[in-house]
Amino acid sequence: MELEVGGWSFSAHASGPDDGVGVLALHGFPEGARCWDRVSGPLAAAGCRVVAPDQRGYSRGARPDAVSAYALPQLVADAVGFLDALGWRSAHLLGHDWGAIVAWTVAARHPERVRSLTAVSLPHPQAYGAALRSDPVQQRLSGYLGLFRAMDGKAEQVLLADGAAALRAFFAGSGMGEAEVDVLVRPLREPGALTAALAWYRAMAPEDYAEVPAVSVPTTYVWGTADLGVARAAAEGCAAWVAAGYRFVELDGVSHWVPEEAPDQLAEAVLARVRA
C-alpha cells in the first residue's frame, strides 16, 4: 500500500483485519519496514491491523535531497501524517531504533494520537542524551555516530564496500538467514538510498532531542542486554521520562535487533498494551 503524506508517497506493509486495532510500526536503521515481518504476524493473528511504512528516505517516493528534510520534527510530522492517511484518530505506536526515537517524540508531543507506546532498543531521547554525556560505556558504544554524521561520503563507502558487507555484518548474531538480511540491505544499495538513510543522523540537532518532554501515555520499553548500541545506564534512565504506566522489558542475551531476534516476546509486549 501507499501512504500519501506531505506531498510524498510512502510505501507501507499492512497485515491483519481492516477493522483491527491499529498498530503503527516505525523501523530503524538500516532496516526498513520489513524488520517487522516476524512481529506483525502474531499481532495480526491477535486481531491487530499493523501498518509498517518505509519511512522518509527509505521509500523511493519520499526521498528528498536536502539533509535538513530529515530533521526530527519532519520525521515526527510524517508519523502523524501516517495516522491521518490511515484515518486513525489514535493508534498503538511501536518503534525500534530510530523509529523508537520518532515514536517517543510523537507520544510526548501528540499524546492524543497515541493509545500506547512500545519503544524498542532506543530509550527516551533525554535518557539517551544523559547517558551519552556521563556514561563511559554509552560513549564507547556511540562511537559510530561520528562516522555516520560526517558529510564526506566516507560512511557510504565503508558500508557499501564489498557488496555492502559492513551493512550485512550489522545483523550478525540476530538469527536472520542470508536471504532475510538481503531483504533489509538490498534497498539501501539503490542509488541515493543509503545517503538518505544516513541523513537521519546528519540532520540531528541537539535542541530537537534535549527538548522532548516526558511521555504521558502507557509505555513499554524493550531492551536486550546484549545490545551493542545502548548501554544499561541509558536503558534504566528511561523510566524517569514516562509520567504514566510504565513497564521495562529486559531481554537477557538479546541483541539490538529485537524485532528479528525476539519477535514473540516483542509481540506479546505490544499485545499486553492493546489488551489493557
pLDDT in tens, 57-99: 999 999 999 999 999 999 999 999 999 999 999 999 999 999 9
Dist. CA 57–CA 10, nearest whole Å: 9
**Residues 111-126: pLDDT tens digits?**
999 999 999 999 999 9
Residue 207 confidence class, pLDDT cut points 50, 70, 90: confident
Q: Does residue 141 have a pLDDT over 80?
A: yes
Residue 174 confidence class, pLDDT cut points 50, 70, 90: confident
Task: Say if CB 168 and CB 180 are below 8 A apart.
Answer: no
How do the domains of the chain map onto residue ranges?
2-204+214-275
- Model-wide pTM > 0.95: yes
Please report, rounded to a whole number, the percentage of residues in the chain having pLDDT higher than 90. 93
Residue 135 confidence class, pLDDT cut points 50, 70, 90: very high
Smallest Cα–Cα separation from 227: which of 138, 94, 167, 134? 138
Q: Span 159-175, mean pLDDT? A: 90
Q: Does residue 173 have a pLDDT over 80?
A: no
Dist. CA 106–CA 103, nearest whole Å: 5
Q: Which pLDDT does position 185 carry in this prediction?
A: 94
Q: Which CATH architecture has domain 2-204+214-275?
A: 3-Layer(aba) Sandwich (3.40)
Dist. CA 100–CA 24, nearest whole Å: 11
H/E element holding 91? strand 91-96
